[in-house]
Amino acid sequence: MMLLEINKTFKRWVLSFGLLASLFFLTSCTENTPIKIGFIGGLSGRVADLGTAGRNGFMLAIEEQNAKGGLHGRPIEVIYKDDQQQPQRAQALINDLLKENVDAIIGPMTSAMAMATVDQINEANKLMMACTVSTNKLTDLDDSFMRPLSDNQTHAAKMGAFIQQQEPLAKRAVAIVDIGNKAYTLDWVEGFKQAYESGSNSLRATHTFISTEDTPFARVANVAMKINPDLVVLAMNAVDATLMIKQIRLTNPDVVIAVAEWAGTERLIQLGGHYVENIYVPQYIDRSSTKESYLAFKKRFHKRFQSSPGFPALFCYDATRIVLTGLSKREGPQSLKEILLSIGSFEGTQGPITLNKYGDGRSSTFITRIQHGRFVVME
């Protein structure tokens, strides 16, 4: 600091002699105070694909906005927090962000983390716009939590109904769920079950595990397969799903497999190989969309990250855009939440995103099936 001041003195001295005046003048301009936005998600570890993809979507939105000169001339500063899918860690990180007095928080990526931190942000009255949190437990609450997508009830029910109609032979089902994120997985399976169970269709058992690098997936799968089900429903992340599906297929190559949206990332196909062929994967996004805004987004994303954007990237991108829109309209005493609710409808990458009065968005579910290493939209 001292050096800096002497440096300035020197500069002033140079100025006073009229030398290089313009050169130094430029450096002494003051900048506008930046707008701070925090991002929280699982950015490291073996199942970080959701978090890093979401982070990339967020990053792209911020970089694009900053390239346009920020918000009303104020640059946007971002603070990334890696919750590593650990609730206590997430709570500490949210505290950090609140201490930093960020203007808004984007994230987290999973329902478990959202449930762990929602009280903190409600208490602090700080807007948290989640990207992909779909637990029913946060549905229609007048709180500081918002999300651009519908809850599990909507999504899982559609999947259940679809299987019930399209796979009439799949009458005996088992579910395997990661209860590390039970706010999501159990919700989802429950939603699925209600739509699926009709007639003789029945979800016989729900097997649980907690995802770690030491989880014996093969053994979990083998146990689940013991009752010889027609349908296996998986609610877990993509990496775990591939390991699980491999084992299921080795046991029974013909069993119908349906996974929750969580696993519907690019990694599922990458790591799954031929084992994931023909499994059903519901998607929050329409991968077959030919909407210009979606194609342009895909192109920009690919240019930036050399990979295709999955749903986490897209939802984080849209969530960030929504928050930026709100921040750009902010003036006076209105809170960001009030502004967003008063705006209501936003331009999304795949069409307009409408927030209800509780700040929950509404999204569709697109059922896809993996065929020849690609997600093919069925419905």
Partner 1 sequence: MTTKKNWPLRTILSSQFLIVAIIPVILVALLSLYLLIPKINHSHYLGQKTLSESIASQVTTYLDNAASDLKVLASFAMQERKLFNQNLGLLDIYTTNQAYFSAIYLTDLNGIITNIGLPSHRQYLRSNFLSLDVSNTNIFKQVTSSGQSGWSDVFLSTVSGRLSVAYTQPFLDGTLVGEISVEELPKLVQNLAKQHQVTVMILDSQRQLIAHPDAELSHQQINLSTLDLVQQTDNGQSLSLPFTFNHEQLIGTASIMPGINWMVISAQNKSEVEAEQSAVYDILVAAIFIGIISAGLLAMLLAREFIAGFTHAALQARSIASGDYQAPPTQSRIRELQWLADNLVTTGQAIETREHEIIQLNSDLERRVEERTEDLRMSHAELELTLNNLKQAQEQLIQSEKLSALGSLVAGVSHELNTPIGNSLMTSSTLTESVRTIVKQSESNQLTRSSFDTFISEVEQGSHILERNLQRASELIHSFKQVAVDQSSAKKRGFNLEQHFSEVLTTLHPVLKKSPIKVNTTIASSLFLNSYPGALSQIITNLIQNALLHAFDSTKQGIITVTANEIDTEKVRIIFEDNGKGMSKEMQSSIFDPFFTTKLGQGGSGLGLHIVHNLVTNVLKGTITVDSDQGQGTKMILDLPISI
Residues that bind partner 1 (CB under 8 A): 3-4, 6-7, 9-10, 13-14, 17, 19-20, 43-46, 48-49, 52, 55-56, 59, 63, 77, 79-80, 82, 213-214, 216-219, 239, 242-243, 246-247, 250, 269-275, 304-306, 373
The CA–CA distances, whole Å, from 175 to 122, 196, 204, 258, 264 equal: 34, 12, 8, 9, 17
Q: Which two tokens stand for residue 63?
A: 């970089």
Provide the strand spans (E) within 180-253. Answer: 202-209, 231-235
CB 107 within 8 A of CB 324: no
Cβ proximity to partner 1: between 162 and 275 the closer is 275
Cβ proximity to partner 1: between 128 and 239 the closer is 239
Q: How far is the CB of 52 from partner 1 (least distance, A)?
A: 5
CB 160 within 8 A of CB 193: yes
Q: How far is the CB of 6 from partner 1 (least distance, A)?
A: 5
Kindly report the three-state secondary structure assignment for every residue of 332-367: CCCCHHHHHHHHCEEEECCEEEECCCCCECCCCCEE
Cβ proximity to partner 1: between 51 and 359 the closer is 51
Cβ proximity to partner 1: between 16 and 345 the closer is 16
Report the distance separating Cα 161 and Cα 173, nearest Å. Answer: 14
Provide CB contacts within 8 A for 120, sequence distance 6+: 91, 94, 95, 98
Q: How far is the CB of 38 from partner 1 (least distance, A)?
A: 13
Q: How far is the CB of 356 from partner 1 (least distance, A)?
A: 33
Cβ proximity to partner 1: between 245 and 323 the closer is 245
Provide CB contacts within 8 A for 366, sequence distance 6+: 282, 283, 284, 285, 286, 287, 288, 377, 379
Q: How far is the CB of 340 from partner 1 (least distance, A)?
A: 27
Q: How far is the CB of 4 from partner 1 (least distance, A)?
A: 7
Cα Rg of the chain (Å, integer): 24
Q: How far is the CB of 253 from partner 1 (least distance, A)?
A: 12
CB 156 within 8 A of CB 191: yes
Cβ proximity to partner 1: between 273 and 344 the closer is 273
The CA–CA distances, whole Å, from 30 to 27, 33, 66, 87 equal: 8, 9, 17, 40
Cβ proximity to partner 1: between 13 and 25 the closer is 13
